[in-house]
Chains A and B, each alone.
Chain A
Amino acid sequence: MSVAWAFDAILAGTVLGVAAWIVVARETFAAVAGFIAYGLLLALVWVRLAAPDVALTEAAIGGGVTGVLLLGAAARLRGGATVPDVWPAAPLRLVAGALCTVIAAALAAVVLLLPEPAPTLAPQAAAALPATGLGNPVTGVLMAYRALDTLLEKVVLVLALIGVWSLAQDASWGGVPGPQGRAARAPDALVFLARLLPPVGIVVAVYLLWLGADEPGGAFQGGALLAAMWILMMMAGLAASPAVSDRRLRLALVVGPAVFLAIGLAGFFSAGAFLAYPEPWAKPLIVLVEAAKIVSVAAALALLVAGPPQRSPR
């Protein structure tokens, strides 16, 4: 029983408490506010689990960008439902609760019966890291060992965006995201923040990108920060969201996966396998891929929050 253990226990208890609040809160808005707090607490859990990269990603994307998305949806869906919500009857809820308890207990049993000593790939990951020129093993896994996952994930982001864009009405196909006739001026405080924060945000995002090679950080976290800055500017009315048929926007979205795919295909000739890097060029190639990636990730995240086009293109 040490201070660290007590801190972990309190943290886990608080996380569970907030999670229970999210499930049982009556007002959807309160549940979404609880979800944002939950995301930040979960980032603390990640730090305690020695995963600072994941903590950064959770705080930026899990708590931040998802929170903005859910808050916007909660505000737009508030009231106006024509059919009242019907909860399942009490016996059904009891059965569902019992089944969920069984599943949770089974997972808890798995956690308590995990094999000892734990199987791990950490030694192999650390041993092969100097060949890539990176210092951060998580970046090594993302960009070198499991580069295929990262490439496909970027494609998933673009696919999700295409899915969201295809939800537009016919009249606003290829148009501008954002509700019709939004002429209300944003409050001055928000405009002030949107003028002051983005330069700082851009510097910190590029710093996170550059740092990701050797310390916790990387393109995803930096991209989430850039997306947040753009969303802030859109909310304050300082930057109009471009029409989704805009050439440069689509180029920005595609440049990340395209560069990665090109370097991957070039790996056939230069290093003998798809997505293999020739050894002396590994670090510069990885930096190039990450630089293209941050642009695509930022554009995709911001546009996913902006939603389907609702105003026709000019």
Chain B
Amino acid sequence: MSQLFGLAAAALVGLGLYGLIVHPEPLRKILAFNLLGSGVFVLFGVIARRGAVVGTGADPVPQAIVITAIIVAFAASALAIGLLLRLRQTTGDAAPPTGDGPP
């Protein structure tokens, strides 16, 4: 049963990575980055669930790691958005300059 969520987590990582690579707008990249991160967290959750023994619902160590990770991901998103807004303020534009040539 937890395998279902594990497969969903793999799909979330793929979706998030695709959004991160393809979207030109930085705010969408930050959204996709959060998606990617949450896919990895669900994968941890699946591993925690599989570590359940009689008496406990799940292995608590990966769950504690995920709690820490959610907060650190939020801190990273906040810093990224601060940088984005400042970039918009100073250059009047919130996208990296598009140039010709290889990406």
Give residues in A with beta carbon < 8 Å to B: 4-5, 8-9, 12, 15-16, 19-20, 22-23, 28, 31-32, 35, 38, 42, 45-46, 48-51, 53-54, 57-58, 61-62, 65-66, 69-70, 73-74, 76-77, 80-83, 85-88, 92-93, 96-97, 100-101, 103-105, 107-108, 110-112, 114, 118-123, 125-126, 137-138, 140-142, 145-146, 149-150, 153, 156-157, 159-160, 163-164, 167, 218, 220, 297, 301, 304-305, 307-308
Query: Which chain B positions have C-beta within 8 A of A77?
Result: 27, 84-85, 88, 94
Residue of B nearest to A107 (CB): B10
CA gap between A58 and B69 in the complex, in Å: 10
B88 contacts A22, C-beta separation under 8 Å: no
- Nearest Cβ in chain A — how far from B34, in angstroms? 7
B10 contacts A105, C-beta separation under 8 Å: yes
A111 contacts B3, C-beta separation under 8 Å: yes
- Nearest Cβ in chain A — how far from B2, in angstroms? 6
- Nearest Cβ in chain B — how far from A35, in angstroms? 6
Residue of B nearest to A8 (CB): B4
Given A22-B19, A86-B24, residue A153 in contact with residue B63 (CB < 8 A): no
CA gap between A163 and B31 in the complex, in Å: 20
CB-CB contacts below 8 Å: B45-94 with A: 45-53, 55-61, 63-68, 70-79, 81-86, 88, 92-94
B79: which of A70, A140, A164 is its contact (CB, 8 Å)? A164
B12 contacts A23, C-beta separation under 8 Å: no
Give residues in B with beta carbon < 8 Å to A: 1-19, 21-25, 27-28, 30-32, 34-35, 38, 41-43, 45-53, 55-61, 63-68, 70-79, 81-86, 88, 92-95, 97-98, 103
Chain A contact surface mostly:
helix
A122 contacts B16, C-beta separation under 8 Å: no
Given A15-B8, A54-B67, residue A81 in contact with residue B81 (CB < 8 A): no
CA gap between A137 and B76 in the complex, in Å: 27
A164: which of B32, B68, B82, B103 is its contact (CB, 8 Å)? B82
Query: Which chain A positions have C-beta within 8 A of B88?
Result: 76-77
B34 contacts A137, C-beta separation under 8 Å: no
A57 contacts B31, C-beta separation under 8 Å: no
A145 contacts B61, C-beta separation under 8 Å: yes
Given A8-B5, A57-B70, residue A51 in contact with residue B78 (CB < 8 A): no
Query: Which chain A positions have C-beta within 8 A of B45?
Result: 45-46, 49, 51, 54
A49 contacts B58, C-beta separation under 8 Å: yes
Given A149-B68, A164-B79, residue A100 in contact with residue B9 (CB < 8 A): no
Residue of A nearest to B14 (CB): A104
Given A22-B32, A54-B63, A167-B82, residue A103 in contact with residue B3 (CB < 8 A): no
Query: Which chain B positions have C-beta within 8 A of A96?
Result: 18, 21-22
Residue of A nearest to B60 (CB): A137
Residue of B nearest to A307 (CB): B82
A122: which of B43, B56, B98 is its contact (CB, 8 Å)? B56
Given contacts A28-B25, A164-B78, 16 further A-B contacts (CB under 8 A): A23-B23, A49-B46, A53-B63, A54-B67, A57-B71, A62-B74, A69-B74, A70-B27, A100-B21, A104-B14, A107-B14, A111-B6, A111-B10, A142-B67, A297-B71, A308-B82
A167: which of B27, B68, B86 is its contact (CB, 8 Å)? B86
A307 contacts B70, C-beta separation under 8 Å: no
A125 contacts B67, C-beta separation under 8 Å: no
B53 contacts A122, C-beta separation under 8 Å: yes
Query: Which chain B positions have C-beta within 8 A of A19?
Result: 11-12, 15-16, 35
